[in-house]
Structure 1
Amino acid sequence: MPVSRFLFFSSKHCTRESVSLLQRFGPSKGIQSRGYVKSSKPGYGKLGGDPVMPIESQTRSWGIYAIPAAVLGFVGVATLVHYNDERRAVLKGQGDRSGINAVKGPIIGGSFTLVDMDNRVVTEKNFLGKWVLLYFGYTSSPDDGPEQLQIMAKAIDKLESKQGIKVLPVFVTIDPQRDTPAQLFAYLKEFDSRIVGLTGPVGAIRQMAQEYRVYFKKVEEEGDDYLVESSHNMYLLNPRGEVLRCFGIEYTAEELSEAIFKEVNGYPT
């Protein structure tokens, strides 16, 4: 038999077997799962057997995954922006020390309106012309708060007695719901009578904390009790109300007083 006739015969034979198998078992599952767009010509876009999934249903199925992915993407971008915002933060008195505005970023510090232990309104203008050591805490703090206040009291005492430098210690509560003016007075007098306590509405406290990049979070305890997580930072403000230094909990009273002395001594009069 010639080669061409053999190939033609084999092709026809394979085609008949394929058609026979399709008729016996029906269309395959793989074919049924495909979706085609409906055509204007009759007969297009249809397959034998079960109907195919419409395009709209497939779009909804993808939407189930697309929405959470979009939300996660937004959270990731917001976290990255917040992280970069923290790293680029500039102390208020250090933004243009080089003579040009080369450093760009959010400024630490700002205006505020609170009340003191005598229920008198206090703003940032009340501290102009004074060196201020500012601390954010709360009177119910079980450990770090009292320790930081002791360090603050000892540091300002060293500065005044040994260096003749007066620094006003200011305590701003991050728990205004419990820290009333009377509560602040009773608490702070146990450490140093020179410490000025400030409180106010929750919104005003939150605004000031944001301006000074202070982290705090309410942590629920058993019953109605709660604690407040905080960054426990101290800020040194110059007589113009600008933040020159930020001190963490790693400073001892001696180290804190020495660091403040260097800033005060090197500040242009």
Structure 2
Amino acid sequence: MGRDPKSIHKQLLISIGVTVFVLVAAMVGLVANRVAEQTVPSILPGLDSISFTLQSSDGPVSNDDLLGRPVAVFFGFTHCPEVCPTTLYTLTSLIDEIGADGSEAGDTQVGDNEAGDTQAANTQVVFITVDPERDTPAILADYIRSMSDQAIGLSGSRAAIDEAIKGFGVYAVKVPLDGDDGDYTMDHTATVFLYDQTGALSGTIAWGERADFAREKLKRLISG
């Protein structure tokens, strides 16, 4: 007896489905690798060419002070409801994860976490406020300390912050909120800028970027 046409049709559909799934998975893997390897055009400035001196709770910090270690810089403000705290938490958590697995953070032997942990611990996360009128160095320090001990917050005069905003090529504007109390929020660039030990811009992490993509970029940054 011949095979049931319905059975043949069902098996054909299953085979097609499996083939499509394999092809899609392969394409996703290829895209993931391409994104993780993404580099920033050389026309964007390096940290060594963005001249600024801002204030942390421990004193002044200039762009030159950040050279010699991997650095992740982003702009935000402490009244930010979602983007800024999420960015800070995600960055520091991913760096901690990479440091906990030394085999991923450099040329270390499997099981030897010390070197990788040291490299990750040397990575500096920098939060530059776009709202210096409300974010003093002390307020920034308290805000960051509640989430991480690996980041520093930088503030300064309005003129100094505007100069840093211009140097990094980011966007920030005050947006009034409804009401007569003068309250406002800030609309700003949410990109994280990654700089290697020489101050060269090695990549960026976009707001909402997949965690595995961001992790690969940070691993590459930390390993040097």
Question: TM-score when scaled to structure 1?
Answer: 0.57
Deviation, structure 1 residue 245 = 0.7
Please list every run of at least 4 consecutive aligned residues from structure 1 whose deviation after the TM superposition is greater than 6 angstroms: none
How far apart, CA to CA, are the structure 2 residues paired with 1:264 and 1:188? 21
Find the partner of 1:260 among 215, 218, 221.
218
Q: Letter of the aligned partner of 1:193 in structure 2?
A: D
Equivalent of 1:161 in 96, 100, 103:
100
The alpha-carbon deviation at position 249 of structure 1 amounts to 0.8
The answer for the alignment partner of 2:55 in structure 1 is 115
Is the Cα contact below 8 Å between 2:170 and 2:188 reproduced in 1?
A: yes
* Structure showing greater Rg: 1
Could you tell me whether the CA contact under 8 Å between 2:46 and 2:195 is conserved in 1?
Answer: no
**Which residue of 1 is the match for residue 186 of structure 2?**
228
Match of 1:107, SS? coil
8 Å contact from structure 1 (residues 108, 213) kept in 2: no
CA distance in 2, matches of 1:144, 1:264: 24
- Of 165, 171, 189 in structure 2, the residue corresponding to residue 209 of structure 1 is 165
Matches within 5 A, 1:39-58: none
Structure 1 position 260, deviation (Å): 1.8
Of 149, 164, 175, which aligns to 1:193?
A: 149
Q: How many residues align?
A: 165
SS at 2:138 equivalent: helix
> Which ranges of structure 1 fall in alignment gaps of 5 or more residues?
1-89, 96-104
Structure 2 residues not aligned, in runs of 5+: 1-38, 106-115
> 1:111, CA displacement in angstroms?
1.4
The one-letter code sitting in structure 2 at the alignment partner of 1:204 is A
Q: How does 1:110-149 map to 2 (within 5 A)?
A: 110-118=50-58, 120-149=59-88
CA contact (8 A) 2:67 2:197 kept: yes
Tell whether 2:174 aligns with 1:218: yes
Q: Percent identical across equivalent pairs?
A: 27
**Alpha-carbon offset, residue 116 of structure 1:** 0.6
The alpha carbon displacement at 1:250 in A equals 2.3
